[in-house]
Amino acid sequence: MTTPVAFILKGYPRLSESFIAQEIAALEARGLAVEIVSLRHPTDVSVHPVHREIAAPVTYLPEYLHREPLRVLAAWSKARRLPGYAAARRVWRADLARDRSANRIRRFGQACVLAAEIAPRVGWLHAHFLHTPASVARYAALMTGLPWSGSAHAKDIYTSPDWELSEKLADCRWLVTCTAANRDHLARLAPPGRVSLVYHGLDLSRWPAGPARPPRDGSQADDPVILVAVGRAVEKKGLDDLIAALALLPARLSWRLVHIGGGPLKEALQRQAAQAGLAARVSWLGARPQEEVLAAYRSADLFCLAPRIAGDGDRDGLPNVLMEAQSQGLAAVATRVSAVPELIEDGFNGLLVAPGDREALAGALESLIRDPTRRAAMGAAGEARVRSTFAMDGGIDDLATRFGLADRP
């Protein structure tokens, strides 16, 4: 594609969305001209190395319409003269009738800015996430006549109503999603062939082979088994289940947990750990750039996370951190939820338990803490699986073809 593609993101850059950054960088390397359009300004204080490699310019749409009234008014004045404005307004009003929210109004205003300011210099709109970014892309596409496509991930799928998913899937040119579970869920709402599975995978050039690890078994107080959990402190990550499970472990078993990630529940989790007598055993590092996450994986002995379906239906797809940890030869203890079993085969490259089963989670953790030989075998199996099946190159090949780069080097 000779004209740029606008990638519409909810926020950019974000430490928690390194998979989007690696995709953009890889497509740029294939020759795709990209413009990044972000609905929100960044809140993370640091970035990953890959963010610094991306050449694409970034435009921030008005995060709240009332904060940039002149910009919004000027964009609306231009957008309302576009040939598809009336159709876009009809679709938006039908959506608003079913979702009477300030967010829905904001989406239309942002779409006007996208249509007036960015659309004239791009040839395609691509939305990462099927909720808010796809709404803005859809309305702008209707106004301008540009084609649009999307990438769906997790929360955007399972917290959106079926009527909205089905209407967006009917309008977009194509949509890719990152797990077979997501694909099967969306395919029942979409025209035949509209939804495809494309794993994010890992850019393995950024993830060297895993190191050899000492055979720690939890028997030495001065040489504890190091556990690492990477994930935002939100309900769907199940970190409260993990802390509760760790509290069930025998007192004499020697271990330490390192948690990486920000999120609104972090203070509550810290209180939970303190009340369980685990404060001295858990390090809360907050959000960290990729090079520090890699260092944490390489110094750890076991990866653990207990994702579950949140009360509002939100859930993980296939957490990228599982692939990252496995690329470093770490065995994993996780829960059998969503697409986790697409990567972790119970008893082969990790152990899986039912989500919310804290006793079973504690048992799985204890068994691998005590058994370094089994951990090493599972870690090696996981690393081989990631490197053979979950490299990002196949997914980038697919996307490059969709964006018209099939013949590019």
Tell me the pLDDT band of 242, cut-offs 50, 70 and 90. very high
Dump pLDDT digits (tens) for 109-144.
Answer: 999 999 999 999 999 999 999 999 999 999 999 999
Q: Are 56 and 28 in contact (CB under 8 A)?
A: yes
Share of residues in the chain with pLDDT > 90 (%): 97
With tokens 């039912």, the residue in question is: 354
Q: What is the reported pLDDT for 395?
A: 95
Tell me the pLDDT band of 19, cut-offs 50, 70 and 90. very high
Q: What is the C-alpha to C-alpha distance for residues 256 and 227, in angstroms, rounded to an integer?
A: 6
Q: Are 230 and 334 in contact (CB under 8 A)?
A: no
Give the pLDDT mean for 37-44.
Answer: 95
Q: Are 369 and 351 in contact (CB under 8 A)?
A: no
Tell me the pLDDT band of 3, cut-offs 50, 70 and 90. confident
Q: What is the reported pLDDT for 388?
A: 94
Q: What is the reported pLDDT for 409?
A: 41
Cβ neighbors of 123 (< 8 A, separation 6 or more) are: 1, 2, 3, 4, 5, 146
Give the pLDDT mean for 144-155.
Answer: 97
CATH number corresponding to 5-200+392-402: 3.40.50.2000
Dump pLDDT digits (tens) for 352-392.
Answer: 999 999 999 999 999 999 999 999 999 999 999 999 999 99
Cβ neighbors of 330 (< 8 A, separation 6 or more) are: 210, 228, 297, 300, 301, 302, 303, 379, 382
Q: What is the C-alpha to C-alpha distance for residues 12 and 9, in angstroms, rounded to an integer?
A: 7
Q: Is this prediction's pTM over 0.85?
A: yes
Q: Are 36 and 67 in contact (CB under 8 A)?
A: no
Tell me the pLDDT band of 406, cut-offs 50, 70 and 90. low
Q: Are 141 and 22 in contact (CB under 8 A)?
A: no
What CATH number does domain 207-389 carry, 3.40.1010.10, 3.40.50.2000, 3.30.413.10, 3.30.70.2190? Answer: 3.40.50.2000
In the chain, where does the domain assigned CATH 3.40.50.2000 lie? 5-200+392-402, 207-389
Q: How far is CA 355 from CA 257, 322, 358, 359, in A?
A: 20, 16, 8, 11
Instruction: Answer with the residue of higher pLDDT: 45 or 233.
Output: 233
Rounded to 5 degrees, φ, ψ at 101 are -135, 155
Q: How far is CA 282 from CA 222, 285, 364, 374, in A?
A: 15, 10, 19, 24
